[in-house]
Amino acid sequence: MNIDDAPRLGWWQQTWRLAAAAAVGGPAWLSTGVLLHRQGDGPGPWFLTGDPLVALGCSTLLLWRRRFPLAVALAVTLASSVSVLSTGVALLALCSLATRRRPVEIGIVGLAYVVASQFSVLLYPVESPPGSWWALLGLPALTAGIAAAAGIAVGARRVEVRSLRERAESAEREQTARAAQARARERNRIAREMHDVLAHRISLVAMQAGVLDHRGDGLTAEENRVLVRGIADGSQHALEELRDVLGVLRADPDRPEPPQPSLDRIPELAAEARASGLDVTLTTAVPGEPSDVVGRTCYRIVQEGLTNAAKHAPGAPVHITLEGTAGGGLEVRVRNSPAATAAAGAGHARPPASGFGLLGLAERVGLAGGLLAHHPTSDNGYLLSAELPWPGPTHERGA
């Protein structure tokens, strides 16, 4: 155990430890004085003055036992050879050293303590029964062993507490990191849903408003009414879809989310785009119904393709192709021709591009296990395509 692992001690902790050391050394010093008095010699000047002064110096030296554990323990132990009152201080120093759990150091100081106790017997010749030499060696060895065992137990507990604290801090850091990742994923999901829901509607509304502004004088009353009605309907639908998204964010976590669009709503999506003024052709050859994830991803691909066509190629024909079978995958293609001359040369402002539509779509397709591609065509048009997995019924049952 390192010195830095031991906690710092306050004045009260230092005080009660020194008081415990005095409680051990005090009775030994008093009993030695009583025995010397009974023998008739009486305690000498050294016993009454020198012994307590050495004990006081050893107690002061203990304040540095955390910084210099081995040196302080040896110094105090050797000093206890001429001071019975220092016995408790020496045992406290040995206990403190044992918290480091280094057997060599513990053995050296323990042996020094036993040897020092024999010098104390020579300094204060107290009469003892014949054959009691084993008690003169056994008692110091026993007390030294108890002090060392207590110190080892304290050191083991400190290591365990430190390990638990480090694991708790590590778990807290990991929990914080996981929470931050979860928040980032949720923000990305919300941003993707907001873009998918609103970008398409707002792009169509902006395109209709641009046509109305550019050709307002050349349109008949019926055409004007259709465009105005389309702008109003598109704005209303955008608000409703925005309200649904915000409702999911604010709703109770146990409340189910509203149903998501799937493959069966692509014809409706194409019809709305035609009503808004886009020239959309839909060709589908998809027997059966893929999974919800694949169907929803396919819907978002077509929606993003129509949104980009309305933004960057207003008036251009858009061709949507859906092909695939269960077990063979699903292919989605949204191809728009170059922008019509009149629309391309219009002076009305186009809707601002967020720059995150294709990025979010690529993430969505990747989560579904598919591949997304988008690039200009040879006739200056643009192609957005994706290949999505569509496992067969046998594979789904096996899974």
Residue 334 has what pLDDT? 94
Measured CA to CA, the distance from residue 119 to residue 192 in angstroms comes to: 85
At residue 66 the predicted structure's pLDDT band, cuts being 50, 70 and 90, is confident
And the tokens for 60?
Answer: 């002061």
Whole-model pTM: value is 0.49
Q: How many CB atoms lie within 10 A of CB 396?
A: 12
Query: Which of 196-200, 292-296, 349-353, 383-387 has the least mean pLDDT?
Result: 349-353
Q: Tell the residue number behind the tokens 């021709």, with chain if given.
A: 337
Sheet containing 329-336: give its strands across: 279-285, 317-325, 329-336, 382-388, 371-376
And the tokens for 303?
Answer: 């929606």
At residue 82 the predicted structure's pLDDT band, cuts being 50, 70 and 90, is confident
Each residue's pLDDT tens digit, 183-237: 777 777 766 767 666 776 777 777 777 766 666 566 677 767 777 777 777 777 7
Measured CA to CA, the distance from residue 261 to residue 156 in angstroms comes to: 61
Domain 192-398 has CATH 3.30.565.10: yes
Q: Tell the residue number behind the tokens 């008690």, with chain if given.
A: 135
More confident residue, 84 or 257: 84
More confident residue, 332 or 55: 332
The three-state DSSP-derived secondary structure of 292-346 is HHHHHHHHHHHHHHHHHHHHHCCCCEEEEEEEEECCCEEEEEEEECCCCHHHHCC
Measured CA to CA, the distance from residue 203 to residue 211 in angstroms comes to: 12
Q: What is the mean pLDDT of residues 80-85?
A: 85
Measured CA to CA, the distance from residue 21 to residue 252 in angstroms comes to: 63
Helix (H) or strand (E) holding 382: strand 382-388
Query: Which of 157-166, 234-243, 287-296, 343-352 has the least mean pLDDT?
Result: 343-352
Assess whether pLDDT exceeds 90 at residue 332. yes
Assess whether pLDDT exceeds 70 at residue 99. yes
Backbone conformation region of residue 338, classed left if phi is above 0, alpha if psi is from -120 to 50, else beta: beta
Each residue's pLDDT tens digit, 382-394: 999 999 998 876 5
Residue 343 has what pLDDT? 43
Residue 129 has what pLDDT? 58
Instruction: Return the domain boundaries, the chain.
Output: 3-127, 192-398
Measured CA to CA, the distance from residue 334 to residue 319 in angstroms comes to: 6
Residue 348 has what pLDDT? 47
Mean pLDDT of the chain: 78
Assess whether pLDDT exceeds 80 at residue 54. yes
Measured CA to CA, the distance from residue 390 to residue 287 in angstroms comes to: 12
Assess whether pLDDT exceeds 50 at residue 397. no
Residue 345 has what pLDDT? 42
First to last CA, the chain: 53
Query: Which of 153-167, 185-199, 272-286 has the least mean pLDDT?
Result: 185-199
At residue 68 the predicted structure's pLDDT band, cuts being 50, 70 and 90, is confident
Per the CB < 8 A criterion, the answer to whether 94 and 113 are in contact is yes
**Is residue 257 packed enough to be buried (19+ CB in 10 Å), middle (13-18) or exposed (0-12)?**
exposed
Using a pLDDT cut of 70, give the percent of the chain over it: 76
Assess whether pLDDT exceeds 50 at residue 398. no
